[in-house]
Structure 1
Amino acid sequence: MRIWKIWACAAAIAFAMSGASDRAAAQTYPNRPITLVIPFAPGGSTSIVGRVIADKMAQLLGQGVVVDNRPGAGGTVGTKFVAKSDPDGYTILLGYTGTLAIGPSLYKDVGYDPRKDFAPIGMIGNAPSALVVHPSFPAKSVAELIAYAKANPGKVNFGSAGVGSVNHITGEYFARSAGITLVHIPYKGTGPALTDLLGGHIPMALAPIPAVHANVAAGLLRALAVTGKTRNGLMPDVPTIAETGLTGFEASLYYGLVAPAGTPRPIVERLNKELQAALASDEVKKQLAADGTEITPGTPEEYADFIDKDEKKWSELVKASGVEQE
């Protein structure tokens, strides 16, 4: 009994000291620059959103927030890097539907668990994608695209940010729903995919609206549809895929911030506080709205719950599309 009491007392002291240490760390946090890992190449929607948030949070935190683009394997390379990083609040990740909801189902050994290996900080926002084609492509509507693909099976290529990215699975989901065959061309990010699309090297791509709307407005790309439940404010004349006849079709991506599991709670709370302040600022609201991103702020717990539900949804789409990787 005496030994048990000594052990219990020691455990209580250790717990108290741990809590005190976490609070002390939070009081001095941050005292050096923070690295925000974006798991895709520069130029895509993740970089657009991530850099807006990084710039504003740097002002609010009083420390630099350095963006580190780490592309590869549909964003899972950079995501795994953060999962294995020190949980001290100085390496955080721009979480994304492709990496936290799709990757774990797409790959047999993705190298991280979206529920266990991260401490959610908070959601940023969501945005649908656009189905865009090069102006030289003969289809001017989704119906014409489907008819063309049926007449030319296996000859219509589409680009995405990489194997396992949201728009890869969305493309497979679209093809399956339409009863057509599309050939996926993976790139190391949305930026490289759009470069090839603009150059006419591929005829079609699925890409986030923030990354394509300027080129659509300039007539350099043609938007056939958007993947959300409703039309997007940046492209009000472009129908949803569901409107074109594929009833019930909907696929949007979500962004948020996460840190490695084990990051002290006070640090997570500090980051969430400044993230909420950033999202509430007129400057960030204007920048994200201009890029078609709907702000959806929330608590760490709300984001954790969303990650769980989003992973379940997309895992079903991955299995239904039959695109699991070794």
Structure 2
Amino acid sequence: MVDKKKSLRRWVMGAAAIMTAALGVQAGTANAAYPDKAVTIVVPWPAGGPSDIAARPLSKGLSEALGQPFVIDNRAGAGGNIGTNLVAKAKPDGYTLMITASGPIVINQHLYKKMPFDAKTDLKPITNLLKVPQVIVVHPSVPVNNLQELLAYIRAQKGNFSWASAGNGTTQHMTGELLKNMTKLEMNHIPFKGSAPAINDLVGGHVPMLIDSTIAVVPMIKSGKAKAIAVTGKQRASQLPDVPTVEESGVKDLKGFESYAWYGLFAPANTPADVVSKLEKASLEYMHSAEFKHVLESSSSQYVGSDSAAFAAFINEDAKRWAKIAPTLNLTLD
């Protein structure tokens, strides 16, 4: 009887081991076959903004490389927090991804008292798509042609000057606040729900000044619908060779001024490593294509193309930089 019980126990344990191995093979096969259905890429900003300009070409490239639709889903609001939280809470299976600017990843934690997610633990960086300088632009009716004239014009308004950004907590917003802080300017911030509506109001003459990325405003500048004053990078933008950097503009208080936005691809934390690896590989291959190089050139963006580990390290360093700057600006958004 004892031998029969032992034999039964061995049989059950053996069967369980076989089932476990089979499930493991099946799971591995599922990941190896990824993707086998449509993938959603959430962009936590309105359609037509800088994140979209990076996201739509990449979604097309991933669709062609991996054989399934990669569909953009714009979920704007709360400085990018709404769409980002959606991805942070999504099932980590590779079928919900995100392309976003840096705001909800490294800035918002310093501006919102309560965050619905922790970017460091709830999201998995896949690759940094591009790095973009900001541009200070004004409506053509504003009677200034350089940064020194603009600062003098703003001071002459004695607190009645407004400027626009893509939204509270965005890099565009923080760039303007840094400018305001370093120069002691009095100007009122008007946050929009993304770059597209902010640009529309600038072009329409409803706001006199906007700070946004080259990827968003170069077309408006080249068409004469906006006047470029200065770029915020260390070097001039390739598409705007005649526009000086902030530091080149000769304003003593702005020596060393530098600000960029970056745009990256993310998945929920705990997304399987082989899925992340497949997305990383396909993204990097597409980013070397002539099509993506055209996106970079037409928007004066800088190629980054880092792997997941390098992107995570980059985010960590950027987070440290904003952690030093944000408290000096005394900003809270809730």
Normalising by structure 1, report the TM-score.
0.92
Structure 2 residues not aligned, in runs of 5+: 1-12
Contact 1:172/1:182 (8 A) holds in 2: no
- C-alpha root-mean-square deviation of aligned residues, in Å? 1.9
The aligned runs of 1:127-146 (5 Å cut-off) are 127-146=132-151
- Helix, strand or coil: the match of 2:120? coil
The answer as to 2:81 corresponding to 1:76 is yes
The aligned runs of 1:205-284 (5 Å cut-off) are 205-245=210-250, 246-284=254-292
Task: Tell me how many residue pairs correspond in the alignment.
Answer: 316
Which of structures 1 and 2 has the bigger CA Rg? Answer: 2
The answer as to 2:178 corresponding to 1:203 is no
Out of 277, 301, 304, which is 1:293 matched to? 301
Structure 1 residues not aligned, in runs of 5+: 1-8
Alpha carbons of 1:144 and 1:277: their partners in 2 closer, same or farther (altered >3 Å)? same
Q: Distance between the aligned counterparts of 2:47 and 2:238, measured in 1?
A: 24
Out of 52, 59, 67, which is 2:64 matched to? 59
Q: Report the residue type matching 1:158 in the other structure.
A: W
Number of the residue aligned with 1:314: 322
- Helix, strand or coil: the match of 2:82? helix
The aligned runs of 1:102-141 (5 Å cut-off) are 102-141=107-146
Q: Report the residue type matching 2:306 in the other structure.
A: G
Normalising by structure 2, report the TM-score.
0.90
Q: Distance between the aligned counterparts of 1:304 and 1:206, measured in 2?
A: 27
1:251, CA displacement in angstroms?
0.5
Q: After TM superposition, which residue ranges in structure 1, 4 or more long, deviate above 6 angstroms?
A: 12-19
Contact 1:122/1:257 (8 A) holds in 2: yes
1:164, CA displacement in angstroms?
0.7
1:317, CA displacement in angstroms?
2.0
- Helix, strand or coil: the match of 1:212? helix
Q: Distance between the aligned counterparts of 1:100 and 1:263, measured in 2?
A: 18
Number of the residue aligned with 1:95: 100
Q: Which string of whole-angstrom CA distances, capped at 9 and with x for unpartnered residues, describes residues 263-289 of structure 1?
A: 000000000010011101111112222
Contact 1:22/1:266 (8 A) holds in 2: no
Q: Distance between the aligned counterparts of 2:236 and 2:133, measured in 1?
A: 9
Contact 1:143/1:244 (8 A) holds in 2: yes
Q: Which string of whole-angstrom CA distances, capped at 9 and with x for unpartnered residues, describes residues 116-164 of structure 1?
A: 1111111111011110000111222110111122222321111111111
